[in-house]
Structure 1
Amino acid sequence: MVKRDLYRNILIGLIVVLLLAVLRIFVVEPIRIHNDNMAPILPKKTHILAMKRSKIGNLDLVAYRHDGKKYVGRVIGVPGQSVIAMDNIVYVNHDILKEPYITANQNKYLLTHDDDFTTDFRVDQLPAKTYWILNDARDVKEDSRRFGPIKAKDILGELEFRYAPISDFGFVENDEAKLENGYENN
């Protein structure tokens, strides 16, 4: 009786470990935020799951890899779109991008700086399978302004579920800006 229970428990343990390994390899990528470049939505020391999927749209929060390091940011432009920033205003396909998620960071920055919060850049058309990704804290330029367009193969997944700190446990709310810009179907 005891021997049979032991074998059953070992089998259940192996199945759980195998299931977790499959989920980690094909479905989720755990990410730990190490800086405040996406605050206040994703502050430093947040632990979040990136859901691996093939369709990434405008204003999605994503994790990506560049030169062996992991970064997080917001997709501003998708393949085929033009993305331009001039005088702190971002244009996607020549339409002004409404960015309520940067207001707090921008106001704080402009109180102590005379230069632009969002440095000027111009991408006339993003190549196939590339994305333009920016930080919400635009004074941190470790994003597409420094790296250029991010290849689709380097995107680890969309940031969707926070699991730490426990006070912020749950899904990441990111629909306001998408609705405001007409991207709700992405």
Structure 2
Amino acid sequence: MKNFIKEWGLFLLFMSLFILSYIFVWVNVKVDGHSMDPTLADGERLFVVKVAKIDRFDIVVAQEDDKKIVKRVIGMPGDTISYDNDVLTVNGEVVEETYLNTYKAAFAKDKLQATYSYNKLFQELAMSANAFTTDTQGNTSFSITVPEGQYFLLGDDRIVSQDSRAVGTFAADDIIGEVKFRFWPLADFGTIHDK
């Protein structure tokens, strides 16, 4: 028994800690789709910290029905958020969304036609949009008050994202955790800058 512990003890301790941390502290997730372009790309692999405190503009993973989705927190519990021609107001204060600058500029230039050259449906959606961020009816001005205990989540690629505009807010229990680190592809290995 002593020899077994001497030879395998450290390995078993490491594996036990690894498994416990996977159960309680972190999980890995694969980005599925283009709703977080250009911040996160389809197929990227991420580490998600389950015990992180969720703040506005954090990128989170949430449970939606039987799938995990990656979105950005825009509205916190109790917030009133409004959009008016791509300008975000939170509780009466205008807030910049600098992470949208690349796609908003491309939308202003050619309605994202060059960006979406890989997908005809995306091009059609962009051509029919009157702003980069609209509600499900295409309105460029809309408001929502986020219920207590809920979060309003949006994808960074507002034209193609299915998010809280379509499916409603997400309960705190539906938020799995905050995206902290990208480990695949190796060329983009590193922390996620979400603000």
User: After TM superposition, is the score higher than 0.5?
Assistant: yes
Q: In the TM superposition, what are the counterparts of 1:12-161 in structure 2 within 5 Å?
A: 12-53=10-51, 55-110=53-108, 111-112=110-111, 113-115=127-129, 116-120=131-135, 121-123=142-144, 125-161=145-181
1:162 aligns with: 182
When the two structures are aligned, how many residues end up with a matched partner? 172
Q: Which moved more, 1:54-63 or 1:74-83?
A: 54-63
Pick the aligned partner of 2:193 from 148, 164, 173.
Answer: 173
Q: CA-to-partner distance for each residue in 1:77-97, whole Å, 9 max, x for gaps?
A: 101110112222221112222
Once residues 143 and 66 of structure 2 are traced to their aligned partners in structure 1, the CA distance between those partners, rounded to angstroms, is 26
Q: CA-to-partner distance for each residue in 1:111-135, whole Å, 9 max, x for gaps?
A: 2325222113321x32221111111
Once residues 94 and 52 of structure 2 are traced to their aligned partners in structure 1, the CA distance between those partners, rounded to angstroms, is 27
Cα 1:54–1:7 shift into 2, 3 Å: closer
Q: Which moved more, 1:70-79 or 1:104-113?
A: 104-113
Q: Which moved more, 1:165-174 or 1:104-113?
A: 104-113
Once residues 20 and 191 of structure 2 are traced to their aligned partners in structure 1, the CA distance between those partners, rounded to angstroms, is 22
TM-score, with structure 2 as normaliser = 0.80
Once residues 159 and 85 of structure 2 are traced to their aligned partners in structure 1, the CA distance between those partners, rounded to angstroms, is 14
Kindly provide the amino acid, as one letter, of the partner of residue 73 in structure 2.
V
Runs of at least 5 residues in structure 2 that lack an aligned partner in the other structure: 112-126, 136-141
Secondary structure class of the residue paired with 1:13: helix
For the aligned residues, what is the CA RMSD? 1.9
Q: Deviating runs (4+, > 3 A) in structure 1?
A: 3-13
Contact 1:74 1:135 in 2 (8 A): yes
Secondary structure class of the residue paired with 2:148: coil
Q: CA deviation at 1:6?
A: 4.7
TM-score, with structure 1 as normaliser = 0.83
Kindly provide the amino acid, as one letter, of the partner of residue 172 in structure 1.
I
Q: CA-to-partner distance for each residue in 1:99-153, whole Å, 9 max, x for gaps?
A: 1111212233442325222113321x32221111111000123111111111110
Secondary structure class of the residue paired with 2:176: strand
Q: CA-to-partner distance for each residue in 1:26-77, whole Å, 9 max, x for gaps?
A: 1111011122221222112211111112521111111111111111111111
Kindly provide the amino acid, as one letter, of the partner of residue 143 in structure 2.
R
